[in-house]
Amino acid sequence: MPKAFAIFFVLMLGIIACVFVVVLSAIVRQSSRNRAVQRANAASPQLNRPARVVSKRAGVTGNENSTRTSYFATFEFPGGAREEFPLEGQQYGLLSEGDTGTLTSQGTWFQSFTRTGPLGSGGTIQDRSGF
């Protein structure tokens, strides 16, 4: 009996160690990917392009104790290309599908959207997150 217990103990210890290594490596991998995206965005030029808001979406994640809402807007450019950007809640609320204007972005970072339209109703929606 004690030999079986020792084998079981070593086996469980090995499984726990493997799970720890897998989780730790996933955290390190994701962290390095995030840093690489941050560096690429910081190195990208700031672009001012005419664009139209073609869609908006919000995604809610969490459980009964806490939730988080993520906001996104998709912009279409004159050539037909589209890009989706994550937004803050205030920016999301100020945009409407069909808005046209000038989108300022840097890599995958939304910087601002200055609305222009047939009535010339300007207005700038800026990123206030501190980037």
- Is 0.85 surpassed by the pTM of this model? no
* pLDDT attached to residue 130: 45
* SS3 category, 95: coil
- Pairing state between β 46-62 and 67-76: antiparallel
* pLDDT attached to residue 117: 63
For tokens 């809402």, the residue is 69
| Strands across the sheet containing 82-87 | 82-87, 67-76, 46-62, 100-106, 109-116, 124-126
Sequence-distant (6+) residues with CB within 8 A of 37 are 107, 108
The tokens for 85 are 């950007």
* pLDDT attached to residue 41: 86
Residue type, position 12, single letter: M
Please identify every stretch of the chain with a pLDDT value under 50, giving residue numbers as ranges: 119-120, 130-131
* pLDDT attached to residue 20: 94
Phi-psi region of 98 (alpha: psi -120 to 50; beta: other; left: phi over 0): left
* pLDDT attached to residue 120: 44
Query: Is the CB of residue 71 less than 8 Å from the CB of residue 56?
Result: yes
- Domain 45-126 architecture: Beta Barrel (2.40)
